[in-house]
Amino acid sequence: MAQKLRQRLYIIIFGTDTPAGKAFDVGLLIAILLSIIAVMLESVPSLQQRYGAIFSITELILTVAFTLEYITRIYVTERKRKYIFSFYGIIDLLSLLPTYLSLFFTGTQYLLVIRALRLLRVFRILKLGRFVGEGEQLGRALRASRHKITVFLGSVVTMVMIMGTVMYLVEGGENGFTSIPRSVYWAIVTLTTVGYGDIAPQTILGQTIASLVMIMGYAIIAVPTGIVTVELGKDRKKQEKRTCSECGNSGHSSDALYCKYCGAQL
Amino acid sequence: MAQKLRQRLYIIIFGTDTPAGKAFDVGLLIAILLSIIAVMLESVPSLQQRYGAIFSITELILTVAFTLEYITRIYVTERKRKYIFSFYGIIDLLSLLPTYLSLFFTGTQYLLVIRALRLLRVFRILKLGRFVGEGEQLGRALRASRHKITVFLGSVVTMVMIMGTVMYLVEGGENGFTSIPRSVYWAIVTLTTVGYGDIAPQTILGQTIASLVMIMGYAIIAVPTGIVTVELGKDRKKQEKRTCSECGNSGHSSDALYCKYCGAQL
Amino acid sequence: MAQKLRQRLYIIIFGTDTPAGKAFDVGLLIAILLSIIAVMLESVPSLQQRYGAIFSITELILTVAFTLEYITRIYVTERKRKYIFSFYGIIDLLSLLPTYLSLFFTGTQYLLVIRALRLLRVFRILKLGRFVGEGEQLGRALRASRHKITVFLGSVVTMVMIMGTVMYLVEGGENGFTSIPRSVYWAIVTLTTVGYGDIAPQTILGQTIASLVMIMGYAIIAVPTGIVTVELGKDRKKQEKRTCSECGNSGHSSDALYCKYCGAQL
Amino acid sequence: MAQKLRQRLYIIIFGTDTPAGKAFDVGLLIAILLSIIAVMLESVPSLQQRYGAIFSITELILTVAFTLEYITRIYVTERKRKYIFSFYGIIDLLSLLPTYLSLFFTGTQYLLVIRALRLLRVFRILKLGRFVGEGEQLGRALRASRHKITVFLGSVVTMVMIMGTVMYLVEGGENGFTSIPRSVYWAIVTLTTVGYGDIAPQTILGQTIASLVMIMGYAIIAVPTGIVTVELGKDRKKQEKRTCSECGNSGHSSDALYCKYCGAQL
C-alpha cells in the first residue's frame, strides 16, 4: 500500500509524462518564480516598507512547501543517495538553506536567488526531446571549442593587463586611472565595447591608445564568433551524416547510441 | 457598372502590377511617412509651439484620408472578413483609432506611431519576388533556431538574475545598486555590452565581478551569431539543392511548391 | 618629342609597375597624409595659435602641387573625359576645391578631409592583385546580401521608431526623453549597444523596456553577421570551383573572364 | 659530470615531459603571477602605503630568482645565441630590466607588467599538442584573412576621419567636439559601439548623423566576423581532408609534414 503510494508519488514528482506529473511541475515552477519575485521586490526599499510582511510570509510558506517537497523527493526515490548528490538534488537543498539561515543571520535571504537555478527544471517539462537536444548541441559546440576559447581568453587577459598598465602610465591618477587594477578594469570595459564612461582617457596620447584598444576589441570579437559558428556547423553536419542502418533516418546527435526513430543500435 | 468600378479600384488599391496600382502605393507610403514625421515633430516642444496648428491639421486630413482608404478597401474586396482580420487589415484599423481617440483623451495621439507598421507595405511594392523571399529566408532561419535561442535566452536570464543579486550584495545601495531589480538591470546593461554608465561598480570586488560579466557577455554574443549563421547557411544549401525536374533550374526556396521559372510542380 | 614626354609621364603618374611610377605614388600618398594631418591639427585651438602659419603654408603649397598634378593627369591621359568623370577624377578635383574656397569663405578648409578619400589610391600601389581581389570579394558579398540587409534595416528602423515612442510615453521629459525624435535616438543608441548614457531610463517600467531593447539588440546583431558570413563563404566556394580548362588552376573570382595564370578564356 | 648536470638541468628547465620539468614550469608560472600581482597592487595608493615594503621585497627577491633562471637557461642550452634572440629569450630579458632600471629611475617598475608576456609559457606546459595546434589554427585563420582585414580597416579609418570632421563642423566646440582629432576619437568610440558618453552629440542634426554612424558600426561588425569565420571553416576542412596514406588517420594541420599518429611522411 505505502509502496504503491510511493510509486504513484514518484511518477507525479519526478515524471513529466502523466497529466498529474505535468501539473505538479508547472505548479512548482510558478511557486519558484513567485518566491524569486518576492525576494527581488523585497530589496526595493519603498516596497519593503509597505509590503514587507507579505513578502516575509510568502517566503516562509513557500520555503516550508519546498522543504516538504524535498523530503518527499528523497522519500519516494529508490536511489536516494544518487538524487541527493545529483545536480538538481544539490540545487534543491541549497535553495532551502537561505531562508532558514536568515532566521539567524541577516542578509542571507538574498541567497534565495539560488532558487533561480531551479528554474532550469523548466527544460525538463518542455522536454519534447528538442530542447534537451538543442542545449546538448550548444554545449557540445562550446566544449569542442574550449581549447580555442582558452587560447583566446589567455591572449585577451595578457593584452588587457599590458594595455591597462600603459594607460596608467600615460593618463595617471588625475584622469581617473588611479591604479593599475583600475586601469585594467578600464581596459576590459573598453575592449569588450561596454564603455561605461566612468573612466575615460583625457590626454591626446591616451585617447589614441584607447582608439587602438577599441578597434582591436571590435576586430577581436570576430574570433569567438568564428569559433562557435564553425563548431556548430560541424556538429550539424555530423548529425546529418549519421544514418540509421535499420530505418534509414538521419539526424541523430553525435553521441546517440540508438536510433531515435526505430530504436536500432547505431 | 458598379461591379466594374469595384474591380478597377481593387486592382489599383490592392494590386501593385499596374502603373496606377504602383502610383497609389507610393502615394500611400509618402502619406504614411508624412503623418509619422508630423507626430514625431509634434512632440518637440519648440516646434509644437510654433507649428502646432499645422501638425494637427496635417494629422486630421491624413487620418480622414486613411479612413476613406480603409472603407474603400473593405468595399472593393470580396473576401471582406479575410481582409479585416488579416495582419494588414488590423494594422490599418489600429493606425486610425489614435487620432479619433485623441479627440476625447489626451496623449493618445502618440499611438499614431503604430502607423509605422503600415510602412511594412513597402515590401509589397518592392515585391520583385526578391524582398519577400529574402524576408522569408531570414524568418525561416530565425524560426529554425528558435529552440536554441530559447535555451540561450533562458541561460542568459538565469545568469543575469544571479549576477545582479551578487552585485547588490557586493556593492550595496550607496554605489547605485539600490535594489535587486535595479542590479539585474545593471547586469543586463553590462552583459549586452551597452554600458550606459548610469550605474557602475565602485568597489574593487564589484569591478572584478563586473569584468567577469563583461568578458562573459563578449564571449556569449558568439552563440546567437553562430546559431543564425549556421541556419542561414543550411537554408541556402537546401535552396541550391532543390532542382526543377522540368527546366533544370535550381534555387527554389525550401517551402516552394512550384518551379518559379517554368511553373512545373516540384 | 612632346608625345614621348607625355607617354613617359603617363607611365609615371598612372602606372604603378615601374620604379618611378611606384615612387611617384608613394610620394603622393605621403603628401596626402601630410595635408590631412595638417588640417586635423589646425583644428586643435592650442596648436592653431602656435603653428597656425605653418599649417596654412603647408596647405597652400600642397594644394598648388595637387593642382599641378591634376592638370598634368588631364594633359597626359588620352581619354581625358573618361578620367575627369571617373571616381578618382572627381575625388581629385573635389579635394582641391576646399582650399580655394577657403580664400573666400571661412570654415570650408575643413572639407579638405575629402582628401582622405584620395588615400584609397593606396590600394592601387599595393595592387599585387590580392588587395583589389579581396576588396572586390568583400564588395560582392555585401552586394549579394543587399536585399537581406535592406529587409533587416527596415525592420530595425520600424522597431526603433516604435520603441522610441513607447519610451517617450513611459519616461517623459523629466527623465531626458524630451521628444520622440530624441527618444528614437536613445533607442538607436541602445539597440546598437553603443550606450552613451546621456539619456538613460529612470523608472522601473522604463528600465524593463530598455532591458528588452538591449536583449533584442544583442540577439539581432547575429542577423547581419550571419548574412555576410554565408555570402562570403558562398563566394569563396564559387571561386574554388572555377577551374581553368587550359592550365587546370582554380581560384578565379566569380566575375573573371580570363584565367589569371595562363590568360585563357574561362 | 658538469656536462651531465647541464643536461639534467636542461631537461628540467626547458623540458615539460618529466615530473620535475612540469613542477619547475608550474612553479615558474606561480612566481610570474605573484610578481605581476605585486606590481599591480603596489600601484593602489592605500595598499602601497601599508604594504609598500612587502611589495618591494617580493619584487626584488623574485627578480633575483628570475635573473638566476635566465643565466641558468643560457648556461644549459647549447644553442645559446638561438635562445637569447628567440621570442621567449627576449621576453625573459626584458622582464628583468625594469626592476634594475627602477633602482636608478622612478616609474620604470611598472614596465614589469611585460612579465605578463612570460605567462604565454603556460601554453608550453599545457602542450598536449592541442593548445599549440589550436593557437596555430587561429593564427593561420587570421593570417589568411590579413588582406581582407587590411582593406576593412583602411575603409573604417577613412570613414572615421570623414565622419569625425563632419561632426566637428556640425556640433562645434561648445558641445565637446573641440577639435577634429577629438571628433575622430568620438567617431571611433561610436563606430565600435563602445560609447563612453564623455562626448555626445547635442544638436538634432548631430544626433541624426550619430545614429547613422551607430547603425553603420552595427552592420560593419559583421564583416570581420564573416571573414574570420569563413577562414576558420576553410582551415578546418583542409585539415579534415589531409589523410595519412600509411595509417589512414585524418585531421592533420595544413602545414604538418609528418603524420601525428604514425610518423609517416604526408
For the cut 80, the answer to whether the pLDDT of residue A4 exceeds it is yes
Do residues C91 and C107 lie in contact, with contact meaning Cβ atoms separated by under 8 Å?
no
Question: For chain D, what percent of residues have pLDDT higher than 70?
Answer: 75
Residue B172 banded pLDDT, cuts 50, 70, 90: confident
Residue C193 banded pLDDT, cuts 50, 70, 90: confident
C233–B233: do the CB atoms touch at under 8 Å? yes
For the cut 90, the answer to whether the pLDDT of residue A195 exceeds it is no
User: Distance (Å, rounded) from C-alpha D185 to C-alpha D202?
Assistant: 17
Predicted confidence at residue C175, as pLDDT, reads 87
Report the chain C residue with the minimal C-alpha distance to residue D191.
C194
Q: Distance (Å) from the C-alpha of residue A83 to the closest C-alpha of chain B?
A: 23
Mean pLDDT value of segment A226-242: 72
For the cut 80, the answer to whether the pLDDT of residue C124 exceeds it is no
Q: How far is CA C29 from CA B25, C24, C42, C67, in A?
A: 50, 9, 20, 15
Q: How far is CA B129 from CA B123, B252, B260, C151, C153, in A?
A: 10, 12, 10, 13, 18
Measured between beta carbons, which residues in chain C are less than 8 angstroms from residue D208?
Answer: 185
Neighbours of chain B (3+ CB pairs under 8 A): A, C, D
For the cut 70, the answer to whether the pLDDT of residue C56 exceeds it is yes
| Pick among A152, A160, A223, A235 to test the D interface (most D CBs inside 10 A) | A223
Q: Distance (Å) from the C-alpha of residue B225 to the closest C-alpha of chain A?
A: 7
Predicted confidence at residue A93, as pLDDT, reads 84
Q: What is the pLDDT of residues B236-259, one digit of tens each?
A: 666 666 666 666 665 555 555 666
Which of the residue ranges B155-159, C139-143, C208-212 would you say has the lowest mean pLDDT? C139-143
For the cut 60, the answer to whether the pLDDT of residue C32 exceeds it is yes
pTM: 0.81
Q: Distance (Å) from the C-alpha of residue D154 to the closest C-alpha of chain C?
A: 8
Measured between beta carbons, which residues in chain B are less than 8 angstroms from residue D217?
Answer: none
For the cut 80, the answer to whether the pLDDT of residue A156 exceeds it is yes
Predicted confidence at residue C110, as pLDDT, reads 65
Q: What is the pLDDT of residues B54-70, one digit of tens each?
A: 888 888 888 888 889 88
D192–A215: do the CB atoms touch at under 8 Å? yes
For the cut 60, the answer to whether the pLDDT of residue A161 exceeds it is yes
The beta-carbon neighbor of C116 closest among D158, D204, D234 is: D158
Residue C151 banded pLDDT, cuts 50, 70, 90: confident
Predicted confidence at residue B252, as pLDDT, reads 56
Measured between beta carbons, which residues in chain D are less than 8 angstroms from residue C128?
Answer: none
Mean pLDDT value of segment C144-149: 74
Q: Distance (Å) from the C-alpha of residue B18 to the closest C-alpha of chain A?
A: 45
Predicted confidence at residue C129, as pLDDT, reads 47
B14-41 in b/e burial notation, b at 16+ Cβ within 10 A? bebeeeebeebbeebbebbeebbebbbb
Q: What is the pLDDT of residues B70-101, one digit of tens each?
A: 898 888 888 888 888 887 788 888 888 877 87
DSSP 8-state secondary structure symbol assigned to residue D195: -
Predicted confidence at residue C132, as pLDDT, reads 57
Predicted confidence at residue B211, as pLDDT, reads 92
D195–C185: do the CB atoms touch at under 8 Å? no
Predicted confidence at residue A263, as pLDDT, reads 63
Q: Distance (Å) from the C-alpha of residue A131 to the closest C-alpha of chain D?
A: 26
Mean pLDDT value of segment C207-230: 84
B222–A236: do the CB atoms touch at under 8 Å? no
Predicted confidence at residue C1, as pLDDT, reads 67
> Rounded to 5 degrees, what angle do the CA atoms A226, A229, A231 make?
110
Residue whose C-alpha is closest to residue A37's, from A106, A112, A108 = A112
CB pairs under 8 A between A and D: 134
Report the chain B residue with the minimal C-alpha distance to residue D198.
B197
Average pLDDT, chain D: 78
Average pLDDT, chain B: 78
Predicted confidence at residue A57, as pLDDT, reads 87
Question: Which structural domains are found in chain C, ordered by start?
Answer: 2-127 (1.20.120.350), 139-241 (1.10.287.70)
Mean pLDDT value of segment A247-256: 57
Measured between beta carbons, which residues in chain D are less than 8 angstroms from residue B225?
Answer: 225
Do residues B68 and B28 lie in contact, with contact meaning Cβ atoms separated by under 8 Å?
no
Measured between beta carbons, which residues in chain B are less than 8 angstroms from residue A120?
Answer: 154, 158
Q: Distance (Å) from the C-alpha of residue A183 to the closest C-alpha of chain C?
A: 20
C153–D215: do the CB atoms touch at under 8 Å? yes
| Pick among A225, A227, A231 to test the C interface (most C CBs inside 10 A) | A225
Do residues A117 and A95 lie in contact, with contact meaning Cβ atoms separated by under 8 Å?
yes
CB pairs under 8 A between C and D: 136
User: Distance (Å, rounded) from C-alpha D266 to C-alpha C189?
Assistant: 54
User: Distance (Å, rounded) from C-alpha B119 to C-alpha B2?
Assistant: 31
Measured between beta carbons, which residues in chain A are less than 8 angstroms from residue B154?
Answer: 119-120, 122-123
Residue D199 phi/psi, 5-degree rounding, is -125, 130
Measured between beta carbons, which residues in chain A are less than 8 angstroms from residue D45?
Answer: 173, 178-179
Residue B129 banded pLDDT, cuts 50, 70, 90: very low
Which of the residue ranges C218-232, D32-46, D57-71, D133-147 would you say has the lowest mean pLDDT? D133-147
* Side chain identity at residue B32, one-letter code: I
Q: What is the pLDDT of residues C234-256, one digit of tens each?
A: 766 666 666 666 666 655 555 55
| Pick among B47, B214, B229 to test the D interface (most D CBs inside 10 A) | B229
Report the chain D residue with the minimal C-alpha distance to residue B226.
D229
A224–B207: do the CB atoms touch at under 8 Å? no
Residue A128 banded pLDDT, cuts 50, 70, 90: very low
Q: What is the pLDDT of residues D42-89, one digit of tens each?
A: 888 888 888 888 888 888 888 888 889 889 888 888 888 888 888 778
Measured between beta carbons, which residues in chain D are less than 8 angstroms from residue B229?
Answer: 229
For the cut 50, the answer to whether the pLDDT of residue B40 exceeds it is yes
Q: Distance (Å) from the C-alpha of residue B229 to the closest C-alpha of chain D?
A: 9
Predicted confidence at residue C180, as pLDDT, reads 85
A196–C193: do the CB atoms touch at under 8 Å? no
Residue D127 banded pLDDT, cuts 50, 70, 90: very low
Predicted confidence at residue D180, as pLDDT, reads 86
D228–A225: do the CB atoms touch at under 8 Å? yes
Predicted confidence at residue C120, as pLDDT, reads 62
Q: What is the pLDDT of residues D168-178, one digit of tens each?
A: 888 888 888 98
For the cut 80, the answer to whether the pLDDT of residue C75 exceeds it is yes
For the cut 70, the answer to whether the pLDDT of residue A65 exceeds it is yes
A180–D113: do the CB atoms touch at under 8 Å? yes
Which of A133-147, C5-19, D208-222 is modeled with the greatest confidence?
D208-222
Cβ-based neighbours of B99, under 8 Å, separated by 6 or more: B59, B60, B63, B109, B112
User: What are the contacts of D178-182 at 24+ separation with CB within 8 A?
Assistant: D178/C44, D178/C45, D179/C40, D179/C43, D179/C44, D179/C45, D180/C39, D180/C40, D180/C43, D180/C44, D180/C110, D180/C113, D181/A204, D181/A207, D181/C40, D181/C41, D181/C43, D181/C44, D182/A207, D182/C44
C168–B43: do the CB atoms touch at under 8 Å? yes
Q: Distance (Å) from the C-alpha of residue A20 to the closest C-alpha of chain B?
A: 25
User: Distance (Å, rounded) from C-alpha C70 to C-alpha C96?
Assistant: 9
Q: Chain D residues within 8 A (CB-CB) of chain B?
A: 193-197, 225, 229
Question: For chain C, what percent of residues have pLDDT higher than 90?
Answer: 5
B194–C196: do the CB atoms touch at under 8 Å? no
Q: What is the ipTM of this complex?
A: 0.78
| Pick among B225, B227, B231 to test the D interface (most D CBs inside 10 A) | B225
Predicted confidence at residue A249, as pLDDT, reads 60
Predicted confidence at residue D120, as pLDDT, reads 62
The beta-carbon neighbor of C197 closest among A193, A197, A229 is: A197
Average pLDDT, chain A: 78
D229–A234: do the CB atoms touch at under 8 Å? no
Do residues D74 and D83 lie in contact, with contact meaning Cβ atoms separated by under 8 Å?
yes
Do residues B203 and B171 lie in contact, with contact meaning Cβ atoms separated by under 8 Å?
yes
Which position has the higher pLDDT, D144 or A156? A156
Sign of CA dihedral C153, B185, B190, D157: positive
Q: How far is CA B49 from CA B34, B55, B56, C183, D205, in A?
A: 19, 10, 12, 19, 20
DSSP β-bridge partners for residue C148: none
Measured between beta carbons, which residues in chain C are less than 8 angstroms from residue A195?
Answer: 194-195
Predicted confidence at residue B63, as pLDDT, reads 86
Residue D128 banded pLDDT, cuts 50, 70, 90: very low
Q: Distance (Å) from the C-alpha of residue A161 to the closest C-alpha of chain D?
A: 7
Residue D252 banded pLDDT, cuts 50, 70, 90: low
| Pick among A35, A113, A178 to test the B interface (most B CBs inside 10 A) | A113
Mean pLDDT value of segment C6-27: 81
Measured between beta carbons, which residues in chain D are less than 8 angstroms from residue C114?
Answer: 162
Which position has the higher pLDDT, C135 or C213? C213
CB atoms within 10 A of CB A238: 14
| Pick among D55, D113, D237 to test the A interface (most A CBs inside 10 A) | D113
CB pairs under 8 A between A and C: 9
Residue whose C-alpha is closest to residue A172's, from A150, A130, A205 = A205
Mean pLDDT value of segment B201-210: 89
B224–C218: do the CB atoms touch at under 8 Å? yes
Measured between beta carbons, which residues in chain C are less than 8 angstroms from residue D222?
Answer: 224-225, 227-229
